[in-house]
């Protein structure tokens, strides 16, 4: 994901330089990058080339077949295991990551999340809070979690079956580092059994047929050291973490966020007290009417229109929007039925 950015940076640095490349994995694209920009690079691995399961061997693994409706309850009880410190929960989608975070927060846990729908400032906030211990649970997708290196991660939970054996190694490798012990729990859905069996066969693991497991299963409590009577809600006495809100959000100048008062014309209408009723309606004259109207002019404030001149009011006269063919007939009918008002010396007089 960062390959284009790395290439852009390398193209801008000095020609004479010393270059060292560090990567958690060495896929073909990274190897090609090293060969392109480095001179006779030396490849150094932290483990033996033929020992792909070295990371897994140092980790206590549990693989269970779980029902989707019971997973959040099961995870909430796993988070209360004895001796656990920081926990990372991996999931496939951004939406699922946010939902897990919200559900666990409602149950009293201090949780942060890292996924693609969050801005860089929110991601950095969650990572800082996780490193500083203000939250002790981090929910992440695989893409967003790349490059995260945090000490004291004692538990890793795969909320669903990973896509392949490399993803599995990458996830569970977040715990059990530098000789420390760790626990990895993988929850496999019924429809993902075949996928898990491929991972199990590739890594030569002893979990070909995961045990059907629920939040109330005895082997969950005994296998992870969960105190008897633990429920899916963290007791208030155990809620000692400050939470994500205690970590400030750094202003990184991100774009695309809606600023207050940027609602355009509608916001201006609300502020000025205007509405759609203030606008002239279709098919009607913007001037006022009194009775009928003639095609040569319209009446305003009781003024008589004749020959384009107003004998009454001297206000501006606007043209009528009524069709011209109907105007003479309507004007004649109005003159026959209507009582005319004329103003003489400030007093009104009626004539038939």
C-alpha 144/C-alpha 113 separation (Å) is: 10
Report DSSP letters for 319-344, one per residue. ---S-TTTHHHHHHHHHHHPPEEEEE
pLDDT in tens, 27-45: 788 888 888 888 888 888 7
pLDDT in tens, 188-200: 999 999 999 999 9
- The per-residue pLDDT for 1 is 60
Give the 3-state secondary structure of residue 266: helix
Give the 3-state secondary structure of residue 66: strand
pLDDT in tens, 83-109: 999 999 999 999 999 999 999 999 999
CA neighbours closer than 13 Å in the CB half-sphere of residue 147: 10
Is the whole model's pTM more than 0.85, yes or no? Answer: no
- Structural domains in the chain, CATH included, are 8-37 (no CATH), 54-228 (3.40.50.300)
- Other CB atoms within 10 Å distance of the CB of residue 40: 5
Name the more confident of 180 and 161.
161
C-alpha 172/C-alpha 170 separation (Å) is: 6
DSSP E strands: which ranges in the chain? 59-66, 86-91, 111-114, 137-141, 153-158, 182-188, 211-213, 305-306, 309-310, 340-344, 347-351
183 to 10, 44, 153, 179, 339: CA distances (angstroms): 39, 27, 9, 13, 98
C-alpha 189/C-alpha 166 separation (Å) is: 19
């Amino acid at each position: 994901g960062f390959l284009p950015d790395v290439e852009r940076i390398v193209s801008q640095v000095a020609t004479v330089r010393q270059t060292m490349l560090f990567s958690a994995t060495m896929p073909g694209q990274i190897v090609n990058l090293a060969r392109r920009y480095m001179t006779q690079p030396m490849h150094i691995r932290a483990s033996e080339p033929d020992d792909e399961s070295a990371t897994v061997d140092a980790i206590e693994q549990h693989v269970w077949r779980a029902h989707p409706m019971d997973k959040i309850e099961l995870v909430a009880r796993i988070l209360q295991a004895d001796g656990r410190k920081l926990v990372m929960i991996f999931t496939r989608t951004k939406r699922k990551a946010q939902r897990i975070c919200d559900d666990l927060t409602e149950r009293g846990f201090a949780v942060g999340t890292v996924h693609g729908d969050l801005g860089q400032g929110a991601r950095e906030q969650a990572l800082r809070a996780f490193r500083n211990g203000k939250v002790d649970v981090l929910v992440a997708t695989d893409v967003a979690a790349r490059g995260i290196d945090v000490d004291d991660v004692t538990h890793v939970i795969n909320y669903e079956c990973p896509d392949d054996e490399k993803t599995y190694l990458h996830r569970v490798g977040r715990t059990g580092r530098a000789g420390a012990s760790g626990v990895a729990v993988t929850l496999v859905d019924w429809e993902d059994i075949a996928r898990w069996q491929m991972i199990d066969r590739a890594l030569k693991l002893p979990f070909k047929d995961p045990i059907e497991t629920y939040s109330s299963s005895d082997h969950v409590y005994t296998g992870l050291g969960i105190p008897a009577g633990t429920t899916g809600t963290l007791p208030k006495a155990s809620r000692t973490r400050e939470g994500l809100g205690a970590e400030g959000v750094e202003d990184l100048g991100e774009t695309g966020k809606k600023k207050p008062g940027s609602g355009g014309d509608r916001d201006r209408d609300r502020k000025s007290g205007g509405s759609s009723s203030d606008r002239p309606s279709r098919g009607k004259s913007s001037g006022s009417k009194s009775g009928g109207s003639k095609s040569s002019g319209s009446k305003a404030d009781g003024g008589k229109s004749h020959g384009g001149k107003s004998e009454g009011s001297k206000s501006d006269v606007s043209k009528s929007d009524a069709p011209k063919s109907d105007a003479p007939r309507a004007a004649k009918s109005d003159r026959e039925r209507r009582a005319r008002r004329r103003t003489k010396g400030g007093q009104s007089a009626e004539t038939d």
